[in-house]
Amino acid sequence: MTSDPLAEEDRQPAPGALPRPPRQASLRGLLLRQLIAQLLALSLVSGLAAYSLLYKPAMQAYDEALADAAYSIAPLLHGVPGKARLDLSPQAERVLRYDRRDRVYYLVVNPAGRPIAGELDLPPPLVAPDADGVRYYDAVYRGQAVRGATINQTVDGATYAIVVAETRHKRDRLNLELAAGVSFPALFVVLGALVVVRRAVTGGLRPLETLRSDIAQRAPSDLHPLPTLTAASELLPLVREFNQLLARLRDTHVAQRRFIGNAAHQLRTPLAALRTQIELAFAERDDMARAAYLQHCRAAADRMGRLVNQLLALSAAEPGGRGEGMMQPDDLAALLADAAPAWVARSQAHDLGLELESASVVCDRLLLQEAVGNLVDNALRYTPPGSSVTLRCGLREGLPFIEVEDDGPGLNPHDLERVGERFYRPADSPAGGSGLGLAIVHEIASRHAASVLVGHAADGHGLKVELRFPTPSSASFAATA
């Protein structure tokens, strides 16, 4: 069989056309199909049960009528032993055979098994009567199916078999009438139930349609939670999960807007200063003065690069930044030892000491190294050359910790209260800082369910910042919550 190339071409999508999306399954259709299938199965089972309950008594009544006819013949059997006869008058025979729908036959068989009266070729039953004296059987006689009943009759000590049989016309007709009588009402019930089920499914799905309409009518900026008091109990878990998604999106949106605002606010002034320095360098004729302006441009570019890196780190630490899948079990000593060479390289004018002991945490390695890097950088930046800076980690009071301590001038009580605010810098801070270091530390600590403790060193001089982590099990819970 060959295929039609034109038909094949019609089935192919046009060049550049989007592929046809797969047909989506309908929840309403799925519910209707399942309910209808179960309703039909229930109707079928109940119809068969009703048919069986009606059919058996009806057929039993017909069988008992056959047995009664055979018992009516039994008293008419007379004679001497081995030579009995049936005294059945023509009028009695007409009464016996009378039936408006079926033909009735009878047969009398002597003890030797030879027929002596009635239809001599009527097939007798193959087994003897039951304990109650009657045996019913089915056979084919003269090309038609017949139903027969046989009884035993004793005459002068000899046992004769009396058989009465009839065709199955009225039985078959009653069978059809019973089937129709059961099927048609059940069909009407099923059709009525289908209408009721369709309306019930449509009404039952109305809360879902209301929820869909509520979501569709929302503005893209509307991230408020959906109402839960009016939601159906089956939809309540879905609404709660959707509200949690909206909360995460809202946090991400707020973080993005904050990042954009922070970046615009902090980059506006350095960019203006950089542009001024560049214009002065272009206007300057003296090579040494131009070189000085270019040095200022390079320093400004370095400060802007650091500011951009800190803004990006702050954005990664905020909700909606790096994914929660980054949280993995790690060892603090190994984590800090990997990043220590870069910090040592920046501490040529200071004495940087490392006191690292093993402690297990669940963390985002990159973010935690960024937080410690900001603490070390602040300690190196805000302490005079020759000062000591110590980086410690391990277990304290059974909890993992990281600590950076210096012996510099420290901070006054007012600055200690505000030191974690974004873009806040003490009045006597050296140039080049952005005021984001400890803010980044606080955001990263929050991601790890850790607390930030800022205070003076043990001797009352310098500054000490400690990150205190929860146990690994509780940290894992906080990371996945």
Per-residue pLDDT of the chain (481 residues; tens, 9 = 90+): 444 444 444 455 555 555 555 555 667 777 777 878 887 888 888 878 877 888 888 888 888 999 999 998 888 888 766 577 888 888 888 888 888 889 999 999 888 888 888 898 998 887 767 656 888 999 999 999 999 999 988 887 788 889 999 999 998 898 888 888 888 787 887 788 778 877 877 777 777 777 777 777 877 777 777 777 666 677 778 778 878 888 777 777 776 676 666 666 556 666 777 788 788 878 878 878 878 878 878 877 776 766 666 666 666 655 555 555 578 899 999 999 998 888 888 878 788 889 999 999 988 888 888 888 888 888 888 888 888 899 999 999 889 999 999 888 777 666 555 565 555 555 455 545 555 667 778 888 888 888 888 887 766 678 888 999 987 645 443 444 4
Q: Do residues 367 and 301 both lie within one domain?
A: no
What is the predicted pLDDT for the residue at 413?
61
Is residue 84 included in any domain, yes or no? yes
Q: Do residues 342 and 395 both lie within one domain?
A: yes
What is the predicted pLDDT for the residue at 424?
53
Is residue 216 included in any domain, yes or no? no
Contact 397, 371 (CB under 8 A): no
Q: Do residues 347 and 313 both lie within one domain?
A: no
Is residue 86 included in any domain, yes or no? yes
Q: Do residues 469 and 344 both lie within one domain?
A: yes
What is the predicted pLDDT for the residue at 395?
93
As for how many domains the chain has, the answer is 3
Reported pTM: 0.43
Distance, CA of 310 to CA of 13 (rounded, Å) = 50
What is the predicted pLDDT for the residue at 213?
78
What is the predicted pLDDT for the residue at 105?
94
Q: Do residues 259 and 156 both lie within one domain?
A: no
Q: Do residues 277 and 399 both lie within one domain?
A: no
Distance, CA of 235 to CA of 421 (rounded, Å) = 42
Give the CATH number of the domain where residue 336 resides. 3.30.565.10
Strand partners, 159: 154
Q: Which SS3 state, helix, strand or coil, does residue 126 take?
A: coil
Out of 321, 352, 370, a domain closes at: 321
What is the predicted pLDDT for the residue at 447?
82
Is residue 187 included in any domain, yes or no? no
Task: State the chain's maximal CA–CA distance in angstroms.
Answer: 161
Q: Do residues 236 and 111 both lie within one domain?
A: no
Q: Do residues 317 and 330 both lie within one domain?
A: no
Q: Do residues 252 and 392 both lie within one domain?
A: no
Query: Which of 361, 446, 458, 452 has its CA nearest to residue 405?
Result: 458
Is residue 466 included in any domain, yes or no? yes
Q: Residue 153 has which token pair?
A: 């009759």
For residues 423-447, one letter each, b for 16 or more C-beta atoms within 10 angstroms of the residue's C-beta and e for the rest, the string is: eebbeeeeeebbbbbbbbbbbbbeb
Query: Which of 365, 394, 391, 392 has its CA nearest to residue 380?
Result: 391
Is residue 42 included in any domain, yes or no? no
Is residue 19 included in any domain, yes or no? no
Which amino acid would we find at residue 358? S
* Host domain of residue 368: 325-480
What is the predicted pLDDT for the residue at 481?
40
What is the predicted pLDDT for the residue at 430?
53
Is residue 90 included in any domain, yes or no? yes
Q: Residue 291 has which token pair?
A: 């070189």
Give the CATH number of the domain where residue 145 resides. 3.30.450
Q: Do residues 253 and 280 both lie within one domain?
A: yes
Which amino acid would we find at residue 207? P
How would you class 397 by CB atoms within 10 Å of its CB: exposed for 0-12, middle for 13-18, buried for 19 or more? exposed
For residues 297-335, one letter each, b for 16 or more C-beta atoms within 10 angstroms of the residue's C-beta and e for the rest, the string is: beebeebbeebeebbebbbbbbebbeeeeebeebbbbeb
Q: Do residues 242 and 338 both lie within one domain?
A: no
Query: Which residue intervals of 144-205 are DSSP H helices?
Result: 169-204
Q: For residue 275, how many other CB atoms are within 10 A of its CB?
A: 12
What is the predicted pLDDT for the residue at 459?
67
Q: Do residues 155 and 225 both lie within one domain?
A: no
Which residue is associated with the tokens 């920046």?
346
